[in-house]
A and B are shown apart, each in its own frame.
Chain A
Amino acid sequence: MRPHVELIQARDLCWHPAELHLGDGRARQINLSYDEESGAASTEVVFDSAWHRPSGFHNADVEWYVKSGAVKVGETILGPGGYFRAPKGLCVPAISVQAGTVVLLFREYGDWGFSASTKNQSEFVARGGNTVSDEPGELTIMDTEQLEWMPNLYEGDTQRFLKLKLLYHDPSPADDNNKGFVTILCWAPPGWSDNRMVHHPVFEEAYCLDGSMDYNFGSLDAGTYFFRPAKVKHGHFMSGEERGFTGIFRLDGALINWITVNERIVVEGDSLNYDPVSQGAVIAGIPVRSRTTGKWSLDGQ
């Protein structure tokens, strides 16, 4: 289970050796979110030297998003905005990375393990760890900077004005919102707002790539990140001026918006030996924050 991280700034966090098994070269990572049960993680990786790894398959569904520098996957060279995804067990071509490259590396439904190979792990490789599809998994590679922004598919109302680039979509079946997977880029144009609180049946994760947005958990700007488990309310959005807000989002199912208005929380009890104003207990479930994002104002609690 990943903890509720909301909101952290990546530059506040410490470095770890990169979990890039069988790679040749020097790389380090920031752990944005880490599931100590499954080994799933979301990390920002800096390659301090040129780095190379032979072809092979991962123990997890793996996604790379290139923030800066260059990554060569087989014969395809990805620059900033480059993206690839490989499901667990799928043979991925050899990868070479230019020194100084920075990558957002996400893995799901498995740990950091990697086996050198020229074949898939098994005869059939599933699309992903949360799929219901019978279709075989495949390597997804794209240059997201070549894609046009599309209208938000997921809801009418004010969220209709958000813009998306679909990087990976494993559709949920009609009877189960909690299956499938979505990875998107989202742009909230300058001045976009939504004064409601929403929650989803699935987890939602985002890393801010550009611009800014204020919302109930604080200010999203470049390098901020959240991992929000299913059913956590969030909202009161106001996108920044000049650039709006752009982030990469991941969700383990269908992005259904359940809306709350007039939200309130009632906590009742009598203090016996403390001042309830200055010494009152905090609610359980305060999300992980970092020093730049500071204390949560409790807006939207």
Chain B
Amino acid sequence: MEQPQVDMSQIRGDWHFHMKYVSHAIDVTLARGMKEWSGLADAAPPATLDALVGQLSAQWGRIAADRDAKGSIRIELPVVAEFEGACRATKEPCDAWVRRHAAGSKHLADVKAFAESCRQLRALCDDLDLMREQKP
């Protein structure tokens, strides 16, 4: 018997339901990252990351404040792409910062936790791309 197949390339159901899930996940993960960042002033944070964290916070604030009639963020706005670019730009400075603390620093666990929050934000940016591609 032929088995029913799932179309791996598509999400199904209500686009707005999924969009609200993605923006909520970013809200929560970004807030956690900001909280971790605020406790890392003594860990010699790189200036590039300092600038990126400021951009992320401001960009997401603008994105979250401008929603459509159904309460979804406006995925097509240029600021969303800019936010994704800033998220993805955290990889190199985060990796370098972790390496710098790798040899027994008392800040290592906290730096790694922040780096993981940034990694998770980068992963969630893939979902922003997906939602943009599949917007009805």
Contact = CB atoms under 8 A, between A and B. Distances in A.
Interface of A: 145-146, 148-151, 154-158, 160-161, 163, 187, 189-193, 241-244, 257
Given A149-B120, A157-B13, A163-B123, A191 B6 contact: no
Given A149-B123, A189-B120, A156 B21 contact: no
B29 A189 contact: yes
B112 interface: yes
A191 B123 contact: no
A213 to B, nearest CB: 13
Interface string B78-99: 0000000000000100010000
A151 B32 contact: no
Where chain A touches its partner, the secondary structure class is: loop
Contacts of B124: 189
Contacts of B58: none
8 contacts: A146-B95, A151-B123, A151-B127, A155-B6, A161-B22, A161-B25, A189-B123, A242-B28
Contact of B29 (A151, A154, A158, A190): A190
Contacts of A155: 6, 8
Interface of B: 6-13, 18, 21-22, 24-25, 28-29, 32, 91, 95, 112, 116, 119-120, 122-124, 126-127, 130
Contacts of A150: 123
A160 B13 contact: no
A156 B120 contact: no
Contacts of A157: 6, 11-13
Contact of A192 (B21, B32, B91): B21
A191 B122 contact: no
Contacts of A243: 32
Contacts of B112: 145
